[in-house]
Structure 1
Amino acid sequence: MTRRDALVRVIEALHAEIAALKANDIDALEAATSAKLKSIDAVAAAREPSTPEIEELAREAHRLNETCRVYVNLMAANVRRRLQVLAGAPAQSYRPLGGAAIA
């Protein structure tokens, strides 16, 4: 498999991951993640030189992966907030970590 073909498969798998996250479809998410990891291994194994097309595909894959990360973080924040409410603790509003609080 060429590096280009492997990157295209990574991108397809990332689109499938996003769709699975939106639908809360755990089986589809597991399948898409497995396909993504296999394709990433194929990208790493390819020894062809980089081209502008390959670099653009890699940037697209990175952008889609960041979109997946945002979805997962939002879902985790929603679960945390729900658990706090169920436990009787006041739900905290979103606050980025690492920065100084603005008074």
Structure 2
Amino acid sequence: MTRRDGLIKVIDLLHAEITAMKTNDVDALDKATSAKLAALNDLAAIDGGMLEPGVRELAEEAHRLNETARIYCNLMAANVRRRLQILAGDAAGGYRANGHLAAYA
């Protein structure tokens, strides 16, 4: 496997992760994330040497997609936190009007 091939695989798996997050498909997200981590390990095991043409651009694309996945993950976590706060009767988000953190028993 070349770096180029490895990066293309990682990019495809990042797309799969993002799609799974958008559709709330936990099984697909688990599979895509596990496969992505394995692909990254395979990529890291490639010996040094000359970079093939286009590798830098593929790495930058993978980085952009990873940032997109991170943003989706953070948004999902924020939505869950907000829902839990509402269920706990703390619609203010854990803070009171006086600016102090609410106490929990």
TM range (shorter): 0.7 to 0.9
The within-5 A match list for 1:23-42 is 23-42=23-42
Partners in 2 of 1:91 and 1:27 — Cα distance?
33
Structure 1 runs (4+) deviating above 6 angstroms are none
TM-score normalised by length of structure 2:
0.82
Q: Which amino acid aligns with 1:87?
A: A
Percent of paired sites with the same residue: 63
Unaligned runs of 5+ in 1: 93-103
Q: What is the CA distance between 1:32 and its match in structure 2? A: 0.5
Q: Secondary structure at the match of 1:60?
A: helix
Q: Which amino acid aligns with 1:70?
A: I
Unaligned runs of 5+ in 2: 94-105
Q: What is the CA distance between 1:52 and its match in structure 2? A: 4.7
TM-score normalised by length of structure 1:
0.84
- Between Structure 1 and Structure 2, which shows a larger proportion of helix residues? 1
Partners in 1 of 2:92 and 2:73 — Cα distance?
19
Taking only aligned residues, the RMSD between alpha carbons, in angstroms, comes to 1.2
